[in-house]
Amino acid sequence: MIKSLKERVAHRFNVSIAEVDDLEAHQLATLGVALVGGEKGFVDRCVDEVRRYLERDPEAELIDATVEVL
Neighbours of 31 (CB within 10 A): 19
Of 36, 4, 2, the closest CA to residue 20 belongs to: 2
Q: What is the pLDDT of residue 5?
A: 92
Of 56, 51, 57, 61, the closest CA to residue 27 belongs to: 61
Q: What is the pLDDT of residue 60?
A: 86
pLDDT digits (tens, 9 = 90+) for 13-65: 999 999 988 666 677 889 999 999 999 999 999 999 999 999 999 988 889 99
